[in-house]
Amino acid sequence: MNELKVDISTLRLKNPIMSASGTFGFGYEFMEYYDTSVLGAIVCKGISKEPRRGNYGNRIAEIDGGIINSIGLENPGISEFLEKILPMIKTINTAYIVNILGSDLDEYLYLAEKLSELPRVDAIEVNISCPNVKAGGLSFGKDINLIKDLTRRLRDIFPKPIIIKVSPDLPYIEIAKICRNEGIDAITCINTIQSLLIDVEKKTFFFNNLYGGLSGPAIKPIALRVVYQVAKEVGIPVIGCGGIMSYKDAVEFFMAGATAVQIGTANFTNPLSAYEILKDLMSYLEKNKIHSVSELRIW
Ligand SMILES: Cc1cc2nc3c(=O)[nH]c(=O)nc-3n(C[C@H](O)[C@H](O)[C@H](O)COP(=O)(O)O)c2cc1C
């Protein structure tokens, strides 16, 4: 019998398979395919203070090996989340992690405070790949001093696990070291990778906002690199994410040093992906007489 439970600091997950933010709605939408309570955790779409309508024009493109999205962080805002969405997820019987985003420091702190008292919210995942309005639109995560301030103040406000999500476009090792020193519980590696797509027929850039975020199988080797480096060099728990389409991909992330993994783009090609990856992972562990995913680490 294998032990699927994993701990993200004080949060015990029944298994290490989660949904990735922005690819699984709020969790209840996938109930028509399977009972999403079977997953180790649900990470919801990123929530901001006010509702955001997202970007105009093209929002998603399929390319070889993945997709590029320019959704623009569309979401209903924290008030609607608390009033309408929280009651709908009450029946989902697994850990619930709320992904938050901000355009300045105060917005992140406001959201963390609002979520801190809610029993249904087990942890927050902080998306720091957002444009920082006060710094002229530079990605929030690129300002190391701000990250230090943010992580310290979040830690003061939010008593449950805090997860910071990084992308390879950021100085992720430096960020992970700050997080470790400020008592952050885990790092999610990785968010989408900034990409450019050109429409050769129209002779224009494909997205109104110029860049989009690449996800799917094309980014898996990069995600594995980041997971390995952060787990090994920084020694903070890592949640692996990026191009996981099958249990074999998930096993690679555990071998690289991940404590748990998230399934993103795969949900779009097959809504049962996360469930199937969990089932297949269990069979793999059973067949290979491995008792826990932590035994898979190869270093
Ligand atoms: C359409 C779409 C929307 C996303 N929205 C968010 C989001 O709101 N917050 C966030 O932190 N990551 C978001 N992501 C990033 C994913 O959670 C994940 O980190 C990334 O897609 C890489 O994993 P994958 O290759 O398995 O999709 C989004 C990704 C996609 C494709």
Q: What amino acid occupies position 201?
A: E
Q: What is the DSSP string of the chain?
A: -----EEETTEEESSSEEEPTTSSTTSGGGGGTS-GGGSSEEEPPPB-SS-B---SS--EEEETTEEEE-----B--HHHIIIIIHHHHTT--SEEEEEE--SSHHHHHHHHHHHHT-TT--EEEEE--SEEGGGTTEEGGG-HHHHHHHHHHHHHH--S-EEEEE-TTS-HHHHHHHHHHTT--EEEE---EEEE-EETTTTEESBTTBEEEEESGGGHHHHHHHHHHIIIII---EEEESS--SHHHHHHHHHHT-SEEEE-THHHH-TTHHHHHHHHHHHHHHHTT---GGGG---
**pLDDT recorded at residue 130:** 80
Q: How big is the CA angle at 72 (ends 69 and 76), to the nearest 5 degrees?
A: 125
**pLDDT recorded at residue 2:** 66
Pick the residue whose CA is nearest to atom 11 on ligand 1. 127
In this structure, the dihedral spanned by the alpha carbons of residues 182, 130, 23 and 255, taken in order and rounded to 10 degrees, is: -40
**pLDDT recorded at residue 1:** 57
Six token digits for residue 105: 């420091």
Model confidence pLDDT, tens digit, residues 24-63: 999 999 999 999 999 999 999 999 999 999 999 999 999 9
Q: How far is the CA of 180 from the centre of ligand 1 (A)?
A: 23
Atom of ligand 1 nearest to the CA of 244: 26
Active site (catalytic) residues: 130
Q: Locate the domains of the chain by residue range.
A: 6-55+73-193+215-296
Q: How far is the CA of 91 from the centre of ligand 1 (A)?
A: 24
Cα separation, 181 vs 29, whole angstroms: 37
Six token digits for residue 111: 């959201």
CA distances from residue 91 to 31, 33, 120 in whole angstroms, order as listed: 11, 16, 10
* Pocket of ligand 1 from Cβ distances under 6 Å: 20-23, 45-46, 67, 69, 71, 73, 99, 127, 165, 191-192, 215-216, 219, 241-244, 264-265
Atom of ligand 1 nearest to the CA of 263: 26
Q: How far is the CA of 1 from the centre of ligand 1 (A)?
A: 33
The residue to mutate among 191, 195, 239, having the most atoms of ligand 1 within 8 angstroms of its beta carbon, is 191
Pick the residue whose CA is nearest to atom 23 on ligand 1. 242
Cα separation, 118 vs 235, whole angstroms: 30
Instruction: Give the class (CATH, top level) of 6-55+73-193+215-296.
Output: alpha beta
The residue to mutate among 17, 18, 19, 21, having the most atoms of ligand 1 within 8 angstroms of its beta carbon, is 21
> Which residues in the chain come in under a pLDDT of 70?
1-2, 136-137
Atom of ligand 1 nearest to the CA of 165: 11
Pick the residue whose CA is nearest to atom 6 on ligand 1. 22
Six token digits for residue 4: 């699927």
Six token digits for residue 238: 């890592």
Q: Enumerate the β-bridge partners of residue 165.
A: 127, 188
First to last CA, the chain: 24
Pick the residue whose CA is nearest to atom 2 on ligand 1. 22
pTM of the complete model beyond 0.85: yes
